[in-house]
Amino acid sequence: MANVRNSLCIALGWFSLTNKILSFLPYSRQRIEEDDIAAVVETLRSDFLTTGPKINEFEEAFASRVNVDHAIVCTNGTAALHMATAVAKLGPGDTAIVPAITFLATANAVRYTGADVVFADVDPDTGLMTTETLDAALKSKNAASIRAILPVHMNGQCCDMPAVADRAKKAGVMIIEDACHVLGGAYTDGEPVGNCTFSDMGVFSAHPVKAIAMGEGGIITTASPKLAAQLRLVRNHGMERDQAQFTNPEQAFAQNGEANPWYYEMQDIGSNYRASDIHCALGLSQLTKLDTFVSTKNKLAEYYQQRLQGLAPIVKPIKRTENGIPAWHVSVVLIDFEKAGTDRASVMNALRKKGIGSQVLYMPLYRQPYYERLYGAQRMAGAEKYYARCLCLPLFTDMTSDDIDRIVDTLASVLGISVDG
């Protein structure tokens, strides 16, 4: 009977320690409440499922939250990055700097334009590109062709953006911030990340594991009305419907001078990266809770910090920086697997058997087969050291301190570490 019960628990995603049933803890997940569901249902019952009023409502609310003039919503974070590199006018013969530790999409967005990527090394204890590693990338053999820097804010912490902005200004290149991990965070001056004080554009994601969930969603922020107009054009097939912007009057206007009612112009190449009203309705509801979400996760991260002290020196949290106010996206620990006499795959599998999910963010991009074929084998000291030790433990808003106790105690047990108390 016990074996049947245990099998059923595992099938349902429940895990038993003695007689207590415990749910599976993924490394991250969204929090959807009844008001979120009601907001989506209201839109489903409205006249507009897409290209309707919720698009502008969400963009205005997001721009207000991050204190920026323009916010452009799109289908996902990858699309947002692609739109940003497109309006930055990157192309064949150009190069952009991307940190070696980031998700595929940051570098891929550069490659979509035909431009090349120069990878910058990172701090081995934070995963962030540093002033020194950026300087090294700026002096690479491709220095003359560098047109953009894409700093990536990792795990909930910011890069040193004043320093990045200083380098970019001296080099005469654009900055596109990949801020997908740090919505709700702030720079050292207290201004919200994404207000574009230090960049030309900021990019965010509203994937379910991010700060707010839209199902899928991406947002680009900018202080430039010119870039904002170009972003909206690229988002919608390169299509212009504003008669004041038409460039071919013979086709656009009737003999009486009025615009032809069917007419639109494709003024540039674009894509269908439009977000729907359904997604924006959910995003609007979630955005009202952003401060609560960030505060909750930051408090959980601090409790992690306290509990993990007992696992030192084999396990330690990533180093805290002084680059701003964090908005913790994930809880990353650095583990000396060799000293623990094990390897990361074994630890992850053992945790999963105990009902605890984990993840690795990220493998250095230059190790990916595509980039190895393109640029040859590379190894960077900081990125390699970070990658060899990093592991994401569960962090999401529905968690409690009891969950963290369970995670830390289980991790200690898996690693063979004795924890007092």
Neighbouring CB atoms inside 10 A of 253's CB total 15
The whole-number pLDDT of residue 14 equals 47
The whole-number pLDDT of residue 142 equals 87
- Compute the mean pLDDT over every residue in the chain, rounded to the nearest whole number: 94
Question: Judging by beta carbons within 10 Å of its beta carbon (0-12, 13-18, 19+), is residue 259 exposed, middle or buried?
Answer: middle
CA distance 417 to 316: 13
Strand order in the sheet with 390-393: 315-317, 331-335, 390-393
The region of weakest confidence among 5-9, 119-123, 215-219, 227-231 is 5-9
pLDDT in tens, 74-102: 999 999 999 999 999 999 999 999 999 99
pLDDT in tens, 254-311: 999 999 999 999 999 999 999 999 999 999 999 999 999 999 999 999 999 999 999 9
Which of the four pLDDT bands, split at 50, 70 and 90, describes residue 22? confident
pLDDT in tens, 371-400: 999 999 999 999 999 999 999 999 999 999
- Report how far apart the first and last C-alpha atoms of the chain are (Å, whole number): 34
Residue 33 has pLDDT above 50, yes or no: yes
The whole-number pLDDT of residue 20 equals 54
User: Are the C-beta atoms of residues 195 and 66 closer than 8 Å to each other?
Assistant: yes
CA distance 194 to 223: 10
Backbone torsion region of residue 344, taken as left when φ is above 0, otherwise alpha when ψ lies between -120 and 50, otherwise beta: alpha
Which of the four pLDDT bands, split at 50, 70 and 90, describes residue 419? confident
Angle among Cα 44, 46, 49 to the nearest 5 degrees reads 60
The whole-number pLDDT of residue 18 equals 43
The whole-number pLDDT of residue 191 equals 96
pLDDT in tens, 136-164: 999 998 889 999 999 999 999 999 999 99
User: Are the C-beta atoms of residues 127 and 155 closer than 8 Å to each other?
Assistant: yes
The region of weakest confidence among 21-35, 176-190, 349-363 is 21-35
The whole-number pLDDT of residue 126 equals 98
Residue 11 has pLDDT above 50, yes or no: no
Over residues 121-148, mean pLDDT: 96
Over residues 352-375, mean pLDDT: 98
Q: Which domains does the chain have, with CATH numbers?
A: 34-287 (3.40.640.10), 290-415 (3.90.1150.10)
Residues facing 78 on adjacent strands: none
47-79 burial by CB neighbour count: b if 16+ within 10 A, else e? eeeeebebbeebbeebbebbebebbbbbbbbbb
Which of 385, 394, 334 shows the shortest CA–CA distance to 359?
394
The whole-number pLDDT of residue 21 equals 61
